[in-house]
Amino acid sequence: MFSKTIQNLIDLFSKFPTVGPRTAGRFVFYLIQSPKEKIEELIAAIQDLKTKIKYCSFCFNPFDTSIRSSTEAHSKSSDQAEETLCEICKNTIRDRGTLCIVEKETDLITIEKTKKYKGLYFVLGGTVATLKKSDVEKLRIKELEEHLRNPQSFGIITIFKEIIVATNPTPEGRATAILIERTIKGTLKNNLPKISHLGLGLPVGGELEYADEETLESAFEGRK
């Protein structure tokens, strides 16, 4: 039986994704033997997440509001965009006619690393196992509808020409892809963009974040 203080922190760490009580216990004992400065550094870094990181109003990718490029800092007109849009959405050189819908933030990062994709993203916030209402409500489907219908009110002026559904090749990813397609078709029925899916090559049942860059690149090139 651990003391109340130790058990309390173990319980908190156990709520982290993929962390069970055993790993949580290791974290706690690591912290117990860490110097005070390290603990303070950790506390400050966690607090920074809440004060400096914001969700992008368009793609929902969390971004660091404390980073400003020198040109933007001098331009008052971009103040608004600076506050709400991430680096990707703010970048006018990117192809705003293409939207890639991913399950989670880490998938966006994985795709960005290939440097092959130049369009915009939308982070759905997870997957669904079924198309039941209670499951669907956990995702940003309402937001997706609003963003597709009226991207300019979220800071992006565009007409989507292609939407890439880049969910993982897992059963949940497929169910989610059906839901996304249904949402696109229902929302943009009068001006339907091309809807494409990542090409073959991705390991079945695998996840985008574990695919190597070459595989992911060819999946993008082979999209249909």
Residues that bind Zn ion (CB under 5 A): 56, 58-59, 61, 86, 89
Contact predicate 102/73, CB 8 Å: no
Alpha helix positions (H), the chain: 4-14, 21-32, 36-52, 70-74, 79-84, 87-90, 105-114, 133-136, 141-149, 171-187, 213-221
Instruction: Give how far the C-alpha of residue 2 lies from the chain's centroid of Cα atoms, to the nearest Å.
Output: 37
Which lies closer to Zn ion via its Cβ, residue 89 or residue 208? Answer: 89
In one letter, which amino acid is 48? D
Which lies closer to Zn ion via its Cβ, residue 59 or residue 163? Answer: 59
Nearest distance from C-beta of residue 63 to Zn ion, angstroms:
7
Nearest distance from C-beta of residue 56 to Zn ion, angstroms:
3
Contact predicate 122/144, CB 8 Å: yes
Which lies closer to Zn ion via its Cβ, residue 24 or residue 99? Answer: 99
Nearest distance from C-beta of residue 104 to Zn ion, angstroms:
14
Nearest distance from C-beta of residue 140 to Zn ion, angstroms:
13
Nearest distance from C-beta of residue 23 to Zn ion, angstroms:
32
Q: Please tell me the distance from the alpha carbon of residue 208 to that of residue 213, in angstroms, as a whole number.
A: 10
Which lies closer to Zn ion via its Cβ, residue 147 or residue 197? Answer: 147
Hey, what are 173's tokens?
Answer: 């990813």
Q: Give the C-alpha distances (Å, rounded to integers) separating 94 from 19, 53, 117, 156, 184.
A: 37, 23, 9, 12, 22
Which lies closer to Zn ion via its Cβ, residue 110 or residue 218? Answer: 110
Integer-rounded Cα radius of gyration of the chain: 20
Q: State the residue number with the nearest CB to Zn ion.
A: 56
